[in-house]
Amino acid sequence: MRKIIDSKNSKYHVFYVVIEGRKIGFYLTRKLVKTFFDYLGKGVLVDFEITDRRKKINHQWFYQVAYFNKIESLNPKVDFEITDQLRQDMKNVLEHNEYYLFIDFEMTMPGYHQRIHTPELIQAGYVLSRAQSKVLVKDNMYMKPVLTDKLSKRTIKFLKIDEQVFNEKAVNYKVFYKKLSKIISKYHPKCVVWGKNDISVLGDSYNIHKKEPLTEPSDFIDLLKLHKDYYNLKDDLGLFKAYKTYYKSNDLQKHDALDDAICTKAVFDAFLSYMK
- 152 and 58 in a single domain? The answer is no
- 58 and 98 in a single domain? The answer is no
What pLDDT, on a 0 to 100 scale, did the predictor assign at position 77? Answer: 59
Give pTM, 2 decimals.
Answer: 0.70
CATH code of the domain covering residue 14: 2.40.50
Asked if residue 159 is part of any domain, the answer here is yes
Report which DSSP code applies to 113.
T
**Distance of alpha carbon 246 from alpha carbon 149, whole angstroms:** 41
> Measured in whole angstroms, how far is the alpha carbon of residue 252 from the centre of its chain?
20
Asked if residue 230 is part of any domain, the answer here is yes
Give, rounded to a whole angstrom, the gap between the first and last alpha carbons of the chain: 29
pLDDT band at 274 (very low <50, low <70, confident <90, very high): confident
Nearest partner of 223 among 258, 249, 246, 194, judged by Cα:
194
Q: Are 29 and 54 in contact (CB under 8 A)?
A: no
**Distance of alpha carbon 222 from alpha carbon 94, whole angstroms:** 11
| Average pLDDT of the chain to the nearest whole number | 89
Asked if pLDDT for residue 80 goes beyond 70, the answer is no
**Which SS3 state, helix, strand or coil, does residue 13 take?**
coil
- 31 and 156 in a single domain? The answer is no
Mean pLDDT over 171-178 rounds to 97
> Within 10 Å of residue 261's Cβ, how many Cβ atoms?
28
Asked if residue 86 is part of any domain, the answer here is no
Angle, helix 223-230 to helix 82-96, in steps of 10 degrees: 160
Q: Of 57, 80, 103, which residue constitutes the final position of a domain?
A: 80
- 198 and 256 in a single domain? The answer is yes
- 156 and 231 in a single domain? The answer is yes
pLDDT band at 189 (very low <50, low <70, confident <90, very high): very high
Q: Are 130 and 99 in contact (CB under 8 A)?
A: yes
Residues in the chain: 276
DSSP 3-state helix, strand, coil percentages of the chain (rounded to 5)? 40, 30, 30
What pLDDT, on a 0 to 100 scale, did the predictor assign at position 222? Answer: 92
Could you tell me the residue range of the domain that residue 56 belongs to? 2-80
Mean pLDDT over 209-238 rounds to 88
- 72 and 129 in a single domain? The answer is no
Total structural domains within the chain: 2
Residue 159, C-beta contacts closer than 8 angstroms, at least 6 positions apart: 106, 123, 255, 256
